[in-house]
Amino acid sequence: NNLAERAIKSLVIGRKNWLFCQSFNGAQSSAIILSLIETAERNGLDPEKHLVYLLSNLPNESTLTDKEALSAYLPWTKTTQANCR
């Protein structure tokens, strides 16, 4: 139970701040970014480095619908681990 409570603590603390997202799209964007940050932290990565890595490399991909190409950017892959620690 303590692990679960600690895992959602950042979500609970930020909840009041998210009331001011101004739009559904803003709230959705916040949720996506927070999910990326939490996933990076859970996999032992530096969240800032991980976001920079994703935002600098993903636009260079020819297509974002190819699951194999996207799976190379998952936080537990060796390349991502090497670049984002």
Reported as a pLDDT band with limits 50, 70 and 90, residue 52 is very high
| Annotated domain spans of the chain | 2-84
Q: Sign of dihedral through CA atoms 4, 80, 25, 65?
A: negative
For residue 81, the model assigns a pLDDT of: 94
Structure tokens at 12: 């609970």
pLDDT in tens, 16-38: 666 667 788 887 888 888 889 88
Q: Which helix (H) or strand (E) holds 10?
A: helix 9-14
